[in-house]
Amino acid sequence: VAISAVAGIMKQIKRPHKKVPVKLSGTVAGDRKDNQWLQYNSSTLPRTQKDWDQCVFVEKTHWGYYCWPRNLMMYAPQEEQPTQNLAREEMTEWEQIIFDHFSDPVFINQFIEFLSLEDRKGKDKFSPRRFCLFKGLFRNFSDDFLPLFRPHMERLVADSHESKQRCVAEIISGLIRGSKHWSFSKVESLWELLCPLLRTALSNITVETYADWGTCIATACESRDPRKLHWLFEMLMESPVNGEGGSFVDACRLYVLQGGLAQQEWRVPELLHRLLQYLEPKLTQVYKNVRERIGSVLTYIFMIDVNLPYTQPTTSPRISDFTERILLQLKPLNEGDEEIQNHVIEENEVGVQDERTQAIKLLKTVLKWLIASAGRSFSTAVSEQLQLLPLLFKIAPVENDDSYDELKRDAKTCLSLMSQGLLYTEQIPMVLSVLQEIAGSSSWHARYTVLTYLQIMVFYNLFTFMSDQKAVNDVRALVIKLLEDEQLEVREMAATTLSGFLQCNFLSMDAPMQAHFEALCKTRLPKKRKRDLGSIVDTIPSAGKELANTSDEEWHSEGLKCCVFMYLAHLHFYYT
């Protein structure tokens, strides 16, 4: 309660900063010439007093991306601002009380000891109230209290205990946000202190504290001009995946960096390009936890790559360019028609590995990216991503079995998520073309999975499909083709799929379809040869192996009748 009260007082005694109007114009979303000056550019960063004074900072992230405010107010130069470092005699009574307490070393010692105590083991987390308190202290009193906090910060950051790390994370985030209006000399001195502290903190990060440090950096970067924080971003970009401290520390460094970059969205394309260039060679050389984190980071790297009306092309990394490069590296897996099995046992084998092994490890990371981006991206899968579908169909299993390895589980999850995505009209022919290609695969697992994908895809894009008669006809032809499949499981799923499409009136039982089924029931193919009992393979239906002694043509005729009967049974179930 006391912390909340002091934080509230800090907000009430906040001294306003002078603003001046800026005349700008622009009405089209995206990266344009009139907002390019807002973006992070390492060649024009304010590293000197002169550059700092001449730089116009815009703290709000949303300003300038779509349009400019009618009256855009910027903070006036430092020399025109009211005095920040007031003498004690110039302060109000409330300010004097707070100043006296936080200038007392004994009080500071007791205060830090209290904040670094463990309250509820396993349930404590980064406190917004404490962050607001420190933000108010360093905003209203500048760096007056920093000499007293500095030794405590250096002590806490070297201690790996959860409560100690959380306390210093709250102090640092409040300090960064509170220094928003400090002079250049003070900000430069601040980062000379903070950068070594943050490096130490990241090297001592633990399972209990990594979320707190991610929140710390994300909170510190929220609604802040990235050019003001260039010390922080350049420090976080220093080889995040370097192996020092193991795979867990690598994943945590990426997590903390991701938290800071995600707050900046469209304003740091240079950093996103640099990070992507750094990560691409490491996509096949990482552990599972790093792989998952890289997949999440890739989602935010491509977050701004959206294709919307009245939107300028982004200067941030493009999904299409990245996927094109990935497809070339996955080419060894596309060769052949057999199902892909994960034969990579070790996480990081030493020595030279063949192309197929490298491609499988790369595919694992790509799957993590596709899964993460399915729920976070602003737009649906682009055409280049849909080109990965044939590869995924060769991996995803039919059964729901927990014994399957990571590769198969992720492929099945990825297909499920991609099938739920919104399809644009121009993407439908391409997707159907891929499904038709897979429907001719020798793997019945792939043919079966085509039907499950088709069901979800059509239902999630029902009205888009129904507005295109050619697409409806293509779906109908594909389902009927798989109704005649030689594998019993495929025929059963095709019957279920057709019944569902008829039930929702996507397809109709018209005269041509009825005539087609009647013709199938009456078809009797001529006998040619007997099946060799020793040649029974996976193409024989698991529920119909008793037909092995009959001819191929007789078995096929029986299969056609079977598929029609299954369809009628499913139809009766749905309508009754």
As averages over each run of 10 residues, the pLDDT of the chain (576 residues) reads: 63 59 60 88 92 89 85 80 78 87 93 87 84 92 92 92 93 94 92 94 91 94 93 92 87 94 93 94 86 92 83 88 90 71 52 75 90 79 79 78 74 89 87 90 87 92 91 92 88 90 87 80 65 43 42 51 57 53
Report the SS3 class of residue 103.
coil
Q: How far apart are the first and last CA of the chain?
A: 63
pLDDT at site 544: 41
533-542 long-range contacts, CB within 8 A, separation 24+: 538/444, 539/444, 539/486, 539/487, 541/486, 541/487, 541/488, 541/489, 541/491, 542/488, 542/489
Residue 99 lies in a domain: no
CA distances from 106 to 103, 109, 150, 233, 269 (A): 9, 5, 14, 35, 47
Domain membership of residue 352 (yes or no) is: no
Instruction: Note the pLDDT of residue 509.
Output: 83
Secondary structure element (H or E) that encloses residue 115, with its range: helix 105-115
521 domain-assigned: yes
Give a yes or no: residue 438 inside a domain. yes
* Phi, psi of 22, rounded to the nearest 5 degrees: -130, 130
For the CA atoms of 528, 530, 532, 536, the dihedral, rounded to the nearest 10 degrees, stands at 90
The Cα 272–Cα 300 span in angstroms is: 9
pLDDT of residue 287: 86
Residue-number span of the structural domain to which 504 is assigned: 431-525+550-575
The CA distances from residue 151 to 108, 166, 213, in Å, are 11, 16, 20
Q: In the chain, how many domains are there? A: 1
Helices 210-221/162-178 angle, 10° precision: 10
Are 472 and 481 in contact by the 8 Å Cβ rule? The answer is no
How many angstroms separate the CA atoms of 312 and 322, rounded?
19
Residue 548: per-residue pLDDT: 42
Region label for 142, one of left (φ > 0), alpha (ψ between -120 and 50) or beta (otherwise):
left
Contacting residues for 12 by C-beta, under 8 A, at least 6 apart: 94
Q: Please report whether residue 440 resides in a domain.
A: yes
Q: Say what the pLDDT of residue 565 is.
A: 56
Q: Is the dihedral of CA 472, 473, 477, 478 positive or negative?
A: negative
Sign of the torsion formed by the C-alpha atoms of 116, 150, 136 and 144: positive
In this predicted structure, what is the pLDDT of residue 224?
92
The runs of H, that is alpha helices, within 222-286 are 230-236, 247-264, 269-279
**b/e burial code for range 488-498 (CB count within 10 A of at least 16 → b):** bbbbbbbbbbb
518 in a structural domain: yes
Contacts of 126 (CB under 8 A, 6+ apart): 166, 169, 170, 173, 211, 212, 215, 216, 219
Instruction: Give a yes or no: residue 493 inside a domain.
Output: yes
CA distance 110 to 127: 19
State both tokens at 236: 């976080």
The reply to whether 459 falls in a domain is yes
Residues 6+ apart with CB under 8 A from 189: 143
Characterize 284-293 residue by residue with b for buried, 16 or more Cβ atoms within 10 angstroms of its Cβ, and e for exposed. Answer: bbbeebbbbb
